[in-house]
Amino acid sequence: MSAVLPIRFRPYDVLQRHWGYAGFRPGQESIIRSVLSGNDTLALLPTGGGKSLCYQVPALAMGRLCLVVSPLIALMKDQVEGLRRRGVNARQISSGMRWAEIDNTLEAAANGKLDFLYVSPERLGTEVFKARLKRLPLGLIAVDEAHCISQWGYDFRPAYLQVAELREAVPGVPVIALTATATAEVARDIMDRLGIPPRNLIRGSFARPELVLWVSRGEDRMGRLLRILDHVEGSSIVYMRDRKGTVRIARFLQQQGHSAVAYHAGLPPRERDAIQQDWTAGAVRCVVATNAFGMGIDKADVRSVIHLEPPPDLESYYQEAGRGGRDGRTAYAFLLTGPGDEDRAWERLRGSYPTLPEVRRTYQAVADLHGIALGSGLGESYEIDLTALAARTKLRPAVVLNALKAIELSGLLALSDGAHSPSRVLMRAAPADVYRLRLQDVRLGPLVEALLRLHGGLFEEAAIIDEARIGRLTGMVPERVERGLEELERMGILSYRKRSDAPSATLLAPRLDADRLTLDPQALRLRQERAEQRLQAMLAYVRGSEGCRMVRLLTYFDEPSPQPCGRCDACVADTRRRGLRNDDRSAEPLAAYERDVEAERYDEDERNGLRP
C-alpha cells in the first residue's frame, strides 16, 4: 500500500494544538510521514522515545478513527486519560467490561464519535466486535507492544495473532506496529505476520546517551544502594522481583532516613494510586517496586533506576532502565548483583513451566470458583484470585500463575494484567423509565438522582463513579450504595462494574472438561528454550566486565555500529587500566565506593597474610 492518505490537518499543527510541542523527537517525523503516505510501517523506538505520538498524530491529522491494539490495561487507561485531557475523544474496551458498556463503546465508535478506540487483543475475536468492524470509520490500525505478536518475542500473547485476521477484514486500512524491544529476529517475525514490507521498517537509535549503565558485583548490596541514593539526587525507582522484597527494602531505606515506599500489585487500589501520585508529585522520592510499577508512567525527571537483582531478560532490563532520564539529562541505571543471583534466576525460570496435571488442576479450580458450567463461559471475563486458586489447588501462587499462562498459550483463555479499574456506571433503561423510577421509588430513586446529578451523559457513555462521594450526597454508607447499584443492575436499569485491581481471564473457548485439556508440547518447549536463551544473554551481560555496556545492549538489539559510551562501569574500568585520565565523573557515585571497597579488601588480605 502506498497511496497518500487524505489529511485534514498538518501534523505540526496537531502536535502544537494538542501537546504544545514545537517539534518532533528524532525518528518520529519519518515514521509519521511513512504512515501518512499510506505505508504499513514497523516503528522501533526505545523506551521514552515517544512511540504513542507516532500513531496519535497521523490519526488526528487524518481525522478518522484509529483502532489501537494494546495488551496492557494500565497502559490503555493512561493513554485514554491522557488523550481526553487534551480534548481528544478516546475510549477503551478491555477484559472485565460488561457487555452493555462494550456495546455502547463500539456503537459510539461506529457512529464516528471517537478519535481513538483502544482494545485488548482478545476482544478482536469476539462476535460483538466483528459485527461492528465493517461499520467502524477506520483510518489507521496501531499495534502497540508489537513484539507480543511474535513467538520469538519475550512476551508472546497468542491473542495477538488475531491482528492478522483483522487486517484481512478491513483491507486498505494502513497499520503501524510499534515496539521498544525487538531483536532483528522478532522484527522480521512481526513484519511477516502483519504483511509489512521490510523497506517500511523504521528504527530510531536505541542508544540513550543520557543513561549511564553500571553493573556492580559484591556482597554489600545494601551499602551500595545507600551510596547511590546518598550521592544521586532526584527521584528513583528500585526494582525487585518479589513483593516481600519491596516491603523489606522500603522499610530498610526508611530506617536509613530516605523517603521510600513499597509498590506491588497486591496493594489495595487506592494505596497504589496514592503512591503513584505522591511519587509523581515529588512527595515521595523513591519507589521500591516489582515490575508492576512503570508501564504508562510519564515522569521525566527520574535520576536513577536501580535493579537489586537481574531481570529475566535484556528486553525487560532495558525497558525498565529506560524509565530514567526521559528529560534528556544524565540518569543512572544501576544493576547490583550478588552471590546466588544466577542460581535464583534459573530456579525462577524452571518454576515457570508447570506439569500438565498442575495445569489441569488450575483450570478446574477457575471453573469451580466461578461456577462455570461445561460448554459455557465463551467471551466472559472472570477475576483471578491467585491466593484462592493456590489454596484450592494446593499449589504455590507462582505455579498457578504459570499454569494460567500455559493455558493462555493453548488459546483457551486470555489473561489481563492486574490493573486498577475504577467503578463505572452506564444507564441501560430508557430515559422515561429512569425518570419514573426517580419519582416513584423512595429507596432507589435518590441513588439514581445522585448519579444523574453528578455525571452527565450516562445514557451515552459509562462514567467513572466514586461510591463514597455518592454516599455523602445521599446519606448512604458506601456499602449500601454498592448494594443499591447491584440491585439496579439486576432490574436492568443500569450496568454497574465495581472497581477492581485483580487480573482477569477471558475465556476464548467454552469451558472444557479439565481432564481432557491438552497442551502443545512443541509450543511449550519452544517457549522454554527462548526463555532460557534470553536469561543466558542477561546473565552474560551481568558477568561480562569488558566491552562497553551500551555497545553490548545495542548489539543485542541489532543496532549497526554502536559506539562506546565512555561512562559505564566497563568503560571507566578500561580507562583506569590504560592509565588514562577520565574527567567525566558521571558514574562517580558508585565508582569511588567500589574503589574504596577494593582498597579495604586489599589491606585486609595483607593483614591476613593472603598477599605477598
For residues 533-540, average pLDDT: 95
In a domain, 370, yes or no: yes
Whether the predicted pLDDT of 121 surpasses 60: yes
Whether the predicted pLDDT of 561 surpasses 70: yes
Whether the predicted pLDDT of 89 surpasses 80: yes
Which of 203, 236, 266 is where one domain is finished? 203
For residues 221-249, average pLDDT: 92
Whether the predicted pLDDT of 4 surpasses 80: no
Residue 408 sits in which domain range?
347-420+502-527
Count CA atoms within 13 Å of residue 410 on its CB side.
20
Dist. CA 108–CA 392, nearest whole Å: 42
The pLDDT tens digits of the residues spanning 147-193 come to 888 877 667 777 788 888 888 889 889 999 999 878 888 899 999 99
Comparison of pLDDT for 416 and 27, the residue scoring more:
27
In a domain, 612, yes or no: no
**Which residues on neighbouring strands pair with residue 49, listed in sequence order?**
none
Other beta carbons within 10 angstroms of residue 209's beta carbon come to 14
Residues 521 and 489 both lie in one domain: no
Q: What is the pLDDT of residue 160?
A: 83
Whether the predicted pLDDT of 47 surpasses 80: no
Residues 549 and 471 both lie in one domain: no
Residues 276 and 192 both lie in one domain: no
Residues 488 and 507 both lie in one domain: no
Dist. CA 342–CA 536, nearest whole Å: 10
The helix-helix angle for 221-231 and 243-255 (nearest 10°) equals 60
Query: Residue 11: which H helix or E strand, with range?
Result: helix 11-19
Whether the predicted pLDDT of 30 surpasses 70: yes
Which of 203, 235, 266 is where one domain is finished? 203
- Per the CB < 8 A criterion, the answer to whether 159 and 508 are in contact is yes
pLDDT band at 294 (very low <50, low <70, confident <90, very high): low
The pLDDT tens digits of the residues spanning 570-594 come to 998 888 877 766 655 555 566 555 5
Q: What is the CATH number of the domain that holds 241?
A: 3.40.50.300
In a domain, 533, yes or no: no
Q: What is the CATH number of the domain that holds 490?
A: 1.10.10
Residues 29 and 156 both lie in one domain: yes
In a domain, 539, yes or no: no
In a domain, 532, yes or no: no
Residues 223 and 153 both lie in one domain: no
Q: What count of residues does the chain have?
A: 612
In a domain, 239, yes or no: yes
pTM: 0.76
Strands (E), 82-200: 90-93, 116-119, 138-143, 175-179
Residues 295 and 185 both lie in one domain: no
Q: What is the dihedral of CA 52, 119, 117, 274, to 10 degrees?
A: -70
In a domain, 5, yes or no: no
Residues 248 and 281 both lie in one domain: yes
Q: What is the pLDDT of residue 328?
A: 86
**Tally of structural domains, the chain:** 4
Which of 151, 176, 203 is where one domain is finished? 203
Residues 414 and 516 both lie in one domain: yes
Residues 114 and 17 both lie in one domain: yes
Residues 145 and 179 both lie in one domain: yes
Residues 451 and 392 both lie in one domain: no
Q: What is the dihedral of CA 456, 458, 460, 463, to 10 degrees?
A: 90
In a domain, 535, yes or no: no
Among 523, 576, 515, CA closest to 545? 576
